[in-house]
A and B are shown apart, each in its own frame.
Chain A
Amino acid sequence: AQSVTQLGSHVSVSEGALVLLRCNYSSSVPPYLFWYVQYPNQGLQLLLKYTSAATLVKGINGFEAEFKKSETSFHLTKPSAHMSDAAEYFCAVSDPDLSGGYNKLIFGAGTRLAVHP
């Protein structure tokens, strides 16, 4: 069964510093991986997705993630944090049910990013 582990429930960085949010996955099939961001009182917004093409994936708002099969990781990075990046970030793996013909997302517990001046 697919699963996702996000290391660090809270991460705090200074404005302008590197952002690194960690995600490790477990998957019995070639994984499809996603990062979503959730601002207070809002739904989830798709940041980027990995779908077995390039291992370095670029997303919106300057974020990118690198798929490393040997480490079963899909960490999210941003070179320079901005105050507006403060939010909750969720890593997710697609969990296909081949017999049922459907697909659901399995989410990690989330990492809350704080950015201070």
Chain B
Amino acid sequence: DAGVTQSPTHLIKTRGQQVTLRCSPISGHKSVSWYQQVLGQGPQFIFQYYEKEERGRGNFPDRFSARQFPNYSSELNVNALLLGDSALYLCASSLSIGNQPQHFGDGTRLSIL
């Protein structure tokens, strides 16, 4: 079975632009979470979605938004990009919410110039 897939793998944007990152969960997984990993740090939680509803949000500004589709895939949108948004954005899926292992994709490397 395919793992979590993310696209694109790399992206270069300039300050002020908007970006959309995409994630397809493992088949059968209904929950998708997004994390931001800045170079040299551990991942930081951004959102968790379950059954197309936002169930949790981390300490990120409103420029960050996401949604989950009926097929459980997800998009992360970031508006008005700042230099500090440069990071690896990781998507993770799990069977449901709760204390279940989250399985990560390889991420999207976003660079802001």
Contacts and interface: CB of A to CB of B under 8 A. Distances in A.
B48 A44 contact: no
A87 interface: no
A35 to B, nearest CB: 11
Given A100-B56, A101-B55, A44 B101 contact: no
Contact of B99 (A32, A43, A45): A32
B21 interface: no
A104 B33 contact: yes
Interface stretch (B12-20, B60-68, B78-86, B104-112): B104-112
A96 B98 contact: yes
B97 interface: yes
B97 to A, nearest CB: 5
B97 A103 contact: yes
Nearest to A9: B40
B45 A105 contact: yes
Nearest to A105: B102
Nearest to B100: A103
A103 to B, nearest CB: 5
Contact of A97 (B50, B56, B106): B56
Interface residues of B, number: 28
Nearest to A94: B99
Contacts of A102: 48, 50, 55-56, 97
A18 interface: no
Given A44-B90, A109-B42, A110-B42, A104 B48 contact: yes
Given A42-B106, A44-B104, A104-B58, A110 B98 contact: no
Contacts of B103: 46
B48 A103 contact: yes
21 contacts: A4-B42, A34-B101, A36-B104, A42-B106, A43-B6, A44-B104, A46-B101, A46-B104, A96-B98, A100-B55, A101-B97, A102-B48, A103-B48, A103-B56, A103-B97, A104-B56, A105-B33, A107-B42, A107-B43, A109-B41, A109-B42
Interface of B: 4, 6, 33, 35, 41-45, 48, 50, 55-56, 58, 90, 92, 97-107, 109
